[in-house]
Amino acid sequence: MTDKVPNKFHALQLFTDTFSAETVHLTNEQEGIYIRLLCFAWTKNTKPFSNDNAYRICQCINDNCKTNVDKLLKEFFICGKGGNSWTHKRLVEEHKFLTDKYNKQSSAGKLGMKVRYNSVNNKTITPIPIPNPIPNKNIYKTSFEKLWDLLTIKRGAKYKAFKVWQKCNTEMPQLERTAEIYNEQQKGKDASFVPHFSTWLSQKRWETQEQDQKFHVKHEPTIVDKYKSLGYQHRGSEGQYEQFLKGNKKYRLHKFKPDAQLETEP
C-alpha cells in the first residue's frame, strides 16, 4: 500500500533573488501574468496545462494579453508533446521534493507509532469498569424483611428504606410497633399522599405518636375525624383544603373557614 500523497501544498516558496534576476527585463504587466501562471501551475500540482487554461487564468480579453502569455510560456515553461501542454521545471522539482519529504515523515511517524504500540510498557490497557452492586433480596436482614412485610402500604424503594433503617433502627420502637404506627398514620389516606417508607423513617415520624402515648395526650376530634365518621375517606391536605373521597366523588373542605362546608372538587 502506497503512502497517501497530499492533493496539494498550499504554500509556494518564492526565491526572490532568482525571481528578480530572471524577470528584470519584464514589464509590470508581464511580471503579474508570470506570477499568475506560477500560482496556477502550483495549485494544479504542477500538472500540464493548455494555452486556453493560461488565457483564462490570466483573464485575457484581447490579443495583446494573449501575446504576452504566449511569450512567457515559451520563455519560462517547458512545452510538452503536441505544442499545447506546459509545465514549469522548477515547480515540478519543488513539488517532488516536498512530496518525498511528506511521505518520509509520514512513514517515520507510522513506524514510531507501531514501535510504541508494540512496547509492553507503553501499552494503554482500558480498565474494565466495575459496576455498582445491584441490590437483591439476599442483602436484607431478617428483621427488616419482617418489618417490610408488616406494612399495609409499601411506598418507595425497598432498598432505600433498608439503607435508612440501618442508620436509625437502634432508635426505633420494636419492629411490630414501628409497623403499627406507620400503618395507623396512613390509614384512610389516598395512596398518593402516603409518604415513602424511607422518608418516614428518615424524618423519625414514629416519635410523634410515641410521645403522645407517653404523656397520654388526647386529641380533640377534628373536622377530619367528623367527616371520617360520616363515611368520607380522607385523601390528605393540599394548599388551603382538606381532601376527601366518597364513592367515586372527590370533595374538599377549606381549612381556615370555621363555617366552611364540604364541596365537590372542581
Give the tens place of pLDDT for each residue, 46-77: 888 888 888 888 988 899 998 988 888 888 88
The percent of residues in the chain predicted with pLDDT above 70, rounded, is 83
Residues 254-260 have a mean pLDDT of 82
* Least confident segment among 60-64, 209-213, 259-263: 209-213
More confident residue, 220 or 22: 22
More confident residue, 125 or 2: 125
What pLDDT, on the 0 to 100 scale, is given for residue 23?
Answer: 87
Element (H, E) at 243: strand 241-246
State pTM to two decimals: 0.39
Answer whether 8's CB lies under 8 Å from 45's CB.
yes
Residue 216 has pLDDT above 50, yes or no: no
Residues 76-86 pLDDT 10s: 888 887 778 88
* Least confident segment among 13-17, 91-95, 166-170, 235-239: 13-17
* Least confident segment among 41-45, 174-178, 218-222, 247-251: 218-222
Residue 24 has pLDDT above 80, yes or no: yes
131 pLDDT band (50/70/90 cuts)?
low
262 pLDDT band (50/70/90 cuts)?
confident
Residues 145-172 have a mean pLDDT of 86
d(CA 189, CA 128): 48
What pLDDT, on the 0 to 100 scale, is given for residue 226?
Answer: 83
Answer whether 251's CB lies under 8 Å from 265's CB.
yes
Residues 210-238 have a mean pLDDT of 72
Element (H, E) at 114: helix 89-118
166 pLDDT band (50/70/90 cuts)?
confident
Q: Please, is 125 exposed, middle or buried when counting C-beta atoms within 10 Å of its C-beta (0-12, 13-18, 19+)? A: exposed
What pLDDT, on the 0 to 100 scale, is given for residue 47?
Answer: 85
Q: Which of 128, 131, 124, 161 is nearest to 144 (CA)?
A: 161
Q: Which of 26, 38, 23 is nearest to 90 (CA)?
A: 38
* Least confident segment among 112-126, 168-182, 186-200, 208-222: 208-222
Question: What residue segments make up the domains of the chain, in order of their start?
Answer: 1-130, 137-264
The percent of residues in the chain predicted with pLDDT above 90, rounded, is 1
